[in-house]
Amino acid sequence: MKETGTATATPTSSGLDRTIACGLDYLASQQAADGAWRGDYGGPMFLLPMYVAACHIGGRSIEPRTRARMIAYLSATQDANGSFGLHAESSDCLFTTVLCYVAFRLLGLPADDERVARARAFIHANGTALACASWGKFTLALLNLYEYDGLQPVLPELWLLPASLPFHPSRLWCHCRQVYLPMAHLYGTRAQMPADELTHALRREIYDRPYESICFAEHRDTIAPGDVYALTSGVLRVVNSFMGLYERAHLRALRKRALVRLFDHIDFEDRATQFIRIGPVNAVFNTLVHFFQSPQSDATARSFAALEGYLCDGHDGTKMNGYNSTALWDTAFAAQAMLDTSLWAAHRETLQRTHAFIINNQVLEDLPEYKRYYRHPCRGGWPFSDRAHGWPITDCTAEGLTAALMLEDAGLPALPEDRIFDAVKLLLGWQNRDGGWATYERQRGGRWLELLNPAHVFGDIMVDHSYPECTAASLHSLALWRRRLAVGSDRKISDRLERKVGAAISRGERFLRRSQRADGSWEGSWGVCFTYGTWFGVRGLRAAGAESSDPALRRACEFLYDQQNADGGWGESGASCRERRYLASASHAVNTAWALLTLVTAGQARDPRCERAARFLVGSQLDNGDWPRQSLSGVFNKTALINYENYRRYFPIWALARFASAAV
């Protein structure tokens, strides 16, 4: 690392310029030939074992080198006490420990391997596989290591109910819906691989009594305390008992109809995403639906091939990524960071490739019959990864549009006018009644549905609802679009659209103001945590026109100043997300970059505390222009941390560039 300078030194403008220039060179060096940035997107510890289980069930062998790298990854993330965490930086989760144990064994480690023995000791000390969270039991059932009557029912027939019912599956958050869809199919068909020798060995290893002697039905609700984030509510208990009764008496013909309906929806998701699927979990389960239905089919082969797209050979071994890539998201931010420096003109080719990637990955068509499959329109949106994935997201659309408009300002070809309109209209159509934006769809169900969350280990998975991050990103891009209209007098302006955008911005602003916490912060849901949320909150309010004297911005800045570490940086523990309060840790380049971006955006660049933050970022840059890899910066559903490999490469540059232009 570079010299950090003395405690009172301020980053000279040449020091800042050097850091930014060097950071930009490094960032540019990481761009792929297609213009995108992508990176390791590991973290959640249930994904790789699910992949390994799918390969085992489907009879797909994993080549020896990959197997060794997977074992290396699991070994690197195992805790000294033998356990695994829900994510790579935690421990003591029975759900992931059981799944990783099974993965170790399926990948070829013997039962007496030291790592395996350590994991087994943890499993036995914490209630055995009988006490792991529901997705663990489900995966074990597919592997013939757990019995279906030990699972709470996942009824296929729910999909036959009228969509107007307030608890119809179509009202669930799309990730939850798309995971429980194939689960319902697998449950309804009692899909299970035949037992082999390894199965019998594993059955002896993960339980403390003979498998045949276990009454699985008694363990539907058995759960280790360490696996519980969302407690099974009283309502869910009642619903589960009703579903249990129904399951015992269900009509064959109705089940058959329901399974046909489910398969139709699964098939739609496969085609709509070119077999990538919305995420890694339904990618695994949809694959298994095809495998159990027709092992030799084309769909099965394509499914397994597509699963490989989720693998990532990272610095600590081979893992399964949380998405097929982070390409659009990373590229849109890298573009914005570059363009906010004064040096972008020196990176013309990098910007041209960036531009090409953004332009080439906007979704241009709605899906045929999308309403029938409960999909929102897609035309004009951008996904988190790429066009092939096909699920546009509110804030990815917003960041994609922002990047496209900024690239146009930098002299690159403008996005065709109709495509800009499509993006704007899509954003408008996504706005919720409360003025905010959710992730993939408008809010469809009441927040009370959270009471039916059956997954134990995650919070907030049942309904898509407004988030400050998605709202702020949407506001920011809409405001940019409106500004562009004001200057480009030759462009055909639709007055009605402009008025609608103005009204949407005002409603979004009100949502943001309402979601600010009493201490001045915003809670982040997709990044760690209050530094992330507060950056979006402030960026959104500024975009909506808030002055730097606005009390909401003042309070946000006071909140951040209160958390600043003595070295000038900010560090937020990942536990902040779970506990929903700011928990400090050692300064982190990404948290510091978010805090500095926030303060500068709020008009505080000349405050000496911003200088100290800039000094921290300048001082912690590595000689090659990168910043050191630190703790995980991303999160989902309150409990699962996830890695954003490129955050440390563009957020510090972005923060320093904005600081430099505002303060020096």
Quick check: 146 binds ligand LAN (CB under 6 A)?
no
- Residues of span 280-299 touching ligand LAN by CB under 6 A: 280-281
Regarding 227 and contact with ligand LAN (CB under 6 A), the answer is no
Distances (CA, A) of 13 to 614, 615, 617: 11, 11, 14
Asked whether 37 and 653 are in contact (CB, 8 A), the reply is no
Which one, 612 or 638, has the nearer CB to ligand LAN?
638
The answer to whether 439 contacts ligand LAN (rule: CB under 6 A) is yes
Helix, strand, or coil here: 183? helix
| Nearer of residues 471 and 564 to ligand LAN, judged by Cβ | 471
Look up residue 475 and give its two tokens: 């506001």
User: What tokens were used for 144?
Assistant: 């013939």
Do residues 301 and 617 lie in contact, with contact meaning Cβ atoms separated by under 8 Å?
no
- Report residue 199 as tokens: 């199965």
Residue 461 as a binder of ligand LAN (CB under 6 A): the answer is: yes
Q: Which residue is nearest to ligand LAN (CB)?
A: 636
Sign of CA dihedral 582, 588, 591, 592: positive
The three-state DSSP-derived secondary structure of 445-478 is CCHHHHHHCCCCCCCCCCCCCCEHHHHHHHHHHH
Q: Which of 67, 171, 175, 648 binds ligand LAN (CB under 6 A)?
A: 175
Q: Does 651 bind ligand LAN (CB under 6 A)?
A: no
Q: Judged by CB under 6 A, which stretch of 53-61, 185-193, 279-287, 428-436 contacts ligand LAN?
A: 279-287
Q: Which of 393, 404, 449, 605 binds ligand LAN (CB under 6 A)?
A: 393
Q: Are 383 and 391 spatial neighbours (Cβ–Cβ below 8 Å)?
A: yes
Instruction: State yes or no: residue 322 binds ligand LAN (CB under 6 A).
Output: yes
Q: Which of 270, 330, 395, 567 is catalytic?
A: 395
**Closer to ligand LAN by Cβ: residue 291 or 526:** 526
Looking at 521-639, list the stretches that DSSP marks H as alpha helix, in order from N- to C-terminal side: 530-543, 551-563, 575-579, 589-601, 608-620
Exactly one of 207, 636, 647, 659 binds ligand LAN (CB under 6 A); that residue is 636
Nearer to ligand LAN, 230 or 663 (CB): 230
Q: In this chain, which stretch among 17-25, 112-120, 274-282, 650-658 interacts with ligand LAN, using CB under 6 A? A: 274-282
Strands 311-314 and 317-320: antiparallel
Q: What is the DSSP letter of 424?
A: H
Cα torsion angle, 652, 655, 658, 663, sign? negative
* Non-local CB neighbours of 325 within 8 Å, separated by 6+ positions: 36, 38, 41, 385, 386
| Residue 18: CB minimum distance to ligand LAN, A | 31
- Are the CB atoms for 558 and 520 separated by under 8 Å? yes
Residues in binding contact with ligand LAN, number by CB under 6 A: 21
CB of 635 to ligand LAN, least distance (A): 7
Of 531 and 637, which has the nearer Cβ to ligand LAN?
637
Using rule CB under 6 A, residue 437 touches ligand LAN: no
For residues 133 and 642, which CB has a smaller minimum distance to ligand LAN in the complex? 642
Q: Which of 159, 207, 323, 651 binds ligand LAN (CB under 6 A)?
A: 323
The answer to whether 153 and 247 are in contact (CB under 8 A) is: yes
Residue 458 engages ligand LAN in binding (rule: CB under 6 A) = yes
**Of 49, 127, 153, 279, which lies in the binding site for ligand LAN, with binding defined by CB under 6 A?**
279
95 binds ligand LAN (CB under 6 A): no
List the structure tokens of 445: 């169900």
Choose between 576 and 637: whose C-beta lies nearer to ligand LAN: 637
Q: Phi and psi at residue 319, in whole multiples of 5°? A: -135, 175
Q: Confirm or reject binding of residue 122 to ligand LAN (CB under 6 A).
A: no
Which residues, 6 or more positions from 205, have their beta carbon under 8 angstroms from its beta carbon? 101, 105, 111, 120
Query: Contacting ligand LAN (CB under 6 A), which of 31, 96, 232, 637?
Result: 637
- List of residues 6+ apart from 306 with CB closer than 8 A: 274, 275, 276, 277, 283, 287
Give the residue with the Cβ less far from ligand LAN, 175 or 456: 175
Residue of the chain from 205, 395, 441, 523 that contacts ligand LAN (CB under 6 A): 395
- In angstroms, the Cα distances linking 506 to 24, 159, 429 are 36, 38, 15
Which residue shows structure tokens 């010299």? 3
- Smallest gap from Cβ 386 to ligand LAN, in A, equals 13
Residue 395 is among the residues annotated as catalytic for this protein: yes
Spatial contact of 498 and 485, defined as CB atoms under 8 Å apart = yes
- Footprint of ligand LAN on this chain (CB under 6 A)? 175, 179, 279-281, 322-323, 329, 384, 393, 395-396, 439, 458, 461, 469-470, 526, 636-637, 642
Catalytic residues: 395
